[in-house]
Structure 1
C-alpha cells in the first residue's frame, strides 16, 4: 500500500497524526500501551469496492478517484480566483454568530480539518465576514460564510456560464446511445485564491478569524472562475462534440462503444494531468440513459 506523507524534522518530539489521517485508516488504539492496530482487511475491502465501481478499462486511472489526494491543497494555477474589489470599498467587520453546542462541535471539526488541509489559516485581516451553518437535506450541517457585503463590492466576472438548455440541446442533437457522467470531488476547493487576495475572504467565528486559501461556496465569481478553468482544460475535447461541462458536472456521450471508452479515457487522463479528482459514488459509466443537471437529454 502506498501512503503519501510529508517529511519533517521532529527531533525528539512525537509525530502528530491529524483527524483526517485517523478517519482514513481508522486504527484500533490501545491507550495503555500507546500502540495502534490496523484492520488491513477493511482497507483492502475498501480498495476492492472502489475498483468494482470503476470499469476495467479505466483501471489505470484509479488514482483519479482517490479522496485523500483530492483533499490536498491545489497548486497555484493560471486560473486562481481573483477577488477584485471596487476602489471605494471599505472592509466590513461582521459579527460573530452564536452557535449551539452541536454546531460549535461541528465548527471545531471544520476548522481542524481545513487547517490541516491548508484550505484556511489564521488571519489578521481587516475584513471579517460572518460564519454560520445551514441544515442539508441529509441532516448534516453545511458550513457557510456570509459574503453578501463583500460580494456587493466585488467587480463581477463576465465569463459566460453555459445555458442548461443549450447543453441539453447539443447532447440531444447528437442522438447518443451511451453516456458517462462524472462528478468532480472537492468542487470549488480545487481552485486556490489568487495570492494576496486571501484576506478579502476572511471569516469570523467563535474560535477566531480565518482566511481561505481556496475558493468556498458563497463567493461571487466562483462559478465563472471554475467554468473558465474547466473550459480551458478541456477546450480541444469540447470542440469535438462528444463532451459537455457545466461547472463541475461532466457528461460524455456517443453512439459507438469503443469510441465512448476512448473518449472517457481522454477525459480521465486530462483530469489526472490537472490534479482533479472524481467522486466514484456519483459517477456513472457506459449507461444508456442518464439524468444530467436534473434532466434526461
Structure 2
C-alpha cells in the first residue's frame, strides 16, 4: 500500500475520497462552536502587559502584511483597542518559509498552568503491541481549530507596524495550548483511545493489526473528524505505513527503536562545557533511557557535575561516560513491544553506582530501567542493594504484577 500522500490526490484514495470535506485545500474560516473553548486564567492582581515592538527588517514587512491579511480574511484575528500588547517576530520553518510568531512569554509567566496530564510515553507504545499498519494525521493549523473564550481574546493582542490585532482562535506560543489542544482531540476520539488511536498533543496515530482493519479504522477516524469539524492536511498525511516515526522512535511490527534522526543529533553533540550543557545533553539522551541498559550507572560521572557546590572539572571518567552514552544510544537494539500480561521476567542488578533492571518477555527485551543510588542507600550492604533493585522496578509494577518472575544479578 501507499506510504505517503506526496504524489497522490484525495480522489485517488477511496477512503479519503469518501470524506473529502475532511481534507480541504486550506483552513479558510474560524472554527465552529465546540464543547470547550481556550481560556487564559491569570494570577490574581495581574495588570495588562504591554511590550514595545521588535525591530523588523523591510524584507519581512511584506511577508507580515500578507500573513495579516490572510488571518483577517479567515477571521483568525481582528483589530484590537485593548491595552494588552505582545511583540511579534518571524521564525523560519523547515521548508524555508517564514512563520509569524507572538512572544507571549510575559503573559505565560502570569498564566495559571493547565493541569491536564499527558499520558506516559511508555504506556502509549505498549498500546501498539501487535500492530502492523500505521497512519499519521496532520491537522490544518491544529491550534487554530479552537476558539478563544470571549473574555480572554483581549489578552492575546499583539502589535504590528500596521496596527494592533488580537487572536480569535488559539495561538501558538501560549503556555496552555498543548494541553488544551490535546484535551480537544482526546475528547473527540475518546471511545477509540486504547483501541486503534493514540493522541499525544498534536501527534495523532492510527494503528491496526491488518490492512483491512486499518481501512475500517481510518473510516471511523475520518468520520470523527467530519462530525467534529476538524480538518486534516492531505499532503502531510501518511497512510498504511509498515513502520512509522512517532514520538522520537521508529515503530513497526518488530518493535520500537530510536529514530535515526535523533541518533545523528547525539553523534554530533559537542562535549559539554558547563552543567547546563550536561542538562541539555541529558534532555535528549535521557528521553531514550528505556533503550539503554544501565543508563544512570553510565551517566553517574556526568550527573555529579550538575550538582550544587561541585566544581566543573571534565575528567577522564566524564569523557568515558559521555562517549559511552553516545555509543550505547546510537547502537541501541530494537525493543520488542509486550504482548499480553504473561511470560514476563524482570532481571535486577545492583552496584555501588546505581540500580538496574531489564524487562524480558518470552526471551525478548521489552525495556531497560535504572536509577542512581539515594544518599541513604550508599551505605546499604550488598543484599539490601539487590532488594532495592527488585523493588525499584516501578515503571513495570502494574504491567508485570500477575505471574512475573524476578531474578537478581542479570
- TM-score range with shorter-chain normalisation? 0.7 to 0.9
Count of residues in correspondence between the two structures: 245
For 1:220, what is the secondary structure of its paired residue?
coil
- Which structure ranks higher in relative contact order (CA pairs < 8 Å, sequence separation ≥ 6)? 1
Residue 233 of structure 2 corresponds to residue 274 of structure 1: no
Q: Distance in 1 between the 2:68 and 2:183 partners?
A: 29
**Mean CA deviation greater in 150-159 or 277-286:** 277-286
CA offsets per residue over residues 99-133 of structure 1, 9 Å max, x none? 11111111101111101100000001111011111
Structure 2 residue 137 is the aligned partner of structure 1 residue 182: yes
- Give distance in 2, aligned partners of 1:257 and 1:57: 13
CA-to-aligned-CA distance 1:44-66 (integer Å, 9 cap, x gap): xxxx95235x5323321122111
Q: Aligned equivalents of 1:169 and 1:203: distance in 2?
A: 43
Q: Distance in 1 between matches of 2:32 and 2:51?
A: 30
Partner residue in 2 for 1:191: 146
Question: How far apart, CA to CA, are the structure 1 residues paired with 2:121 and 2:60?
Answer: 36
Structure 1 stretches of at least 4 aligned residues deviating more than 4 Å after TM superposition: none
CA RMSD of aligned residues (A): 1.6
Alpha-carbon separation, structure 2, partners of 1:141 and 1:182: 23
Cα separation, 1, equivalents of 2:169 and 2:161: 21
Q: Counterpart of 2:98?
A: 141
State how far apart, in whole Å, the 2-side matches of 1:51 and 1:145 are.
Answer: 34
210 and 57 in structure 1: CA distance in 2 versus 1, 3 angstrom threshold: closer
Distance 2:56 2:122 in 1: 41
The equivalences for 1:148-167 within 5 A come to 148-167=105-124
SS in 1 for 2:68: helix
Quick check: 1:220 aligned with 2:179?
A: no
Asked if residue 82 in structure 1 is aligned to residue 36 in structure 2, the reply is: no
User: Equivalent residue of 1:296, what SS?
Assistant: strand
2:15 alignment partner in structure 1: 57
Structure 1 spans left out of the alignment, 5+ residues = 1-47
1:66 aligns with 2:24: yes
Aligned to 1:250: 204
Find the aligned partners of 2:221 and 2:23 in 1 and give their Cα distance: 13
Would the aligned equivalents of 1:89 and 1:153 in 2 still touch at CA under 8 Å? Answer: yes
Q: For 2:113, what is the secondary structure of its paired residue? A: coil
Q: Distance in 2 between matches of 1:136 and 1:236?
A: 35
Instruction: Identify unmatched segments of 5+ residues in structure 2.
Output: 1-6, 252-410
Match of 1:114 in 2: 71
Work out the CA distance in 1 between the residues paired with 2:141 and 2:201: 12
For the Cα contact (< 8 Å) 1:93–1:129, is it kept in 2? yes
Partner of 1:126: 83
Judge conservation of contact 2:88–2:103 (CA < 8 Å) in 1: yes
**Contact 2:119 / 2:200 at 8 angstroms: preserved in 1?**
yes
Match of 2:184 among 223, 226, 229: 229
**C-alpha separation in 2, matches of 1:115 and 1:279:** 21
The secondary structure found in structure 2 opposite 1:87 is coil
TM-score by length of 1: 0.78
Provide the TM-score with structure 2 as the length reference: 0.57
Summarize the Cα distance change of 1:119–1:229 in structure 2 as closer, same or farther, 3 Å threshold: same
Per-residue CA deviations over 1:119-162 (Å, capped at 9, x if unaligned) read 00000111101111122232221111111111100111100123
* 50, 54, 57: which one aligns with 1:100: 57
Structure 1 CA distance, aligned partners of 2:97 and 2:122?
32
Tell me the distance in 1 between the aligned counterparts of 2:146 and 2:73.
17
**How far is the alpha carbon of 1:84 from its aligned partner?**
0.7
Distance in 2 between residues matched to 1:83 and 1:154, nearest whole Å: 7
- TM-aligned CA distance change 1:260 to 1:138, over 3 Å: closer
Indicate conservation of the 8 Å contact 1:97/1:205, yes or no: no
**Does the Cα contact within 8 Å between 1:179 and 1:286 map onto a contact in 2?**
yes
Q: Does the CA-based 8 Å contact 1:120-1:212 persist in structure 2? A: yes
